[in-house]
Amino acid sequence: MKIRPLNDRILVERLEGETRTSGGIVLPDTAKEKPKQGRVAAVGTGKILDDGKRIPLEIKAGDVVLFGSYAGTEVKIEGKEYLILREEDVLGIIEEGAKKAKGANA
């Protein structure tokens, strides 16, 4: 089944959260928080303004994004859990090049 979000909504698959603390303690499933970042699986066509014009989304499929703890609506599609949220609920896009550059300096 394919799904395409409407207007300024995006479909996000949560990325797995950390299973260990920085001190090396393994966290059980009940103690873990839901991850606040995910990979965009699909995007809508854009926001419609009052005058009828459509503004395309800045986010594209494949982007890794950060979002708030209680943002969006959880849905289950073909056994996988997704989150549908508006573009305005996204706090930021994680740049892949920035992650590599940071790791290279460490």
Q: Please give the residue that has the higher pLDDT: either 46 or 97.
A: 46
**Measured distance CA(8)–CA(49) in Å, rounded:** 11
Lowest mean pLDDT among 51-55, 78-82, 95-99: 95-99
Provide the CATH number for the domain formed by 9-105 in this structure: 2.30.33.40
In this predicted structure, the answer to whether residue 42 has a pLDDT above a threshold of 50 is yes
**Measured distance CA(54)–CA(79) in Å, rounded:** 33
**Measured distance CA(61)–CA(74) in Å, rounded:** 18
**Measured distance CA(91)–CA(74) in Å, rounded:** 18
Where exactly are the structural domains of the chain? 9-105
Residue type for position 42: A
The answer, as to whether pTM is greater than 0.75, is no
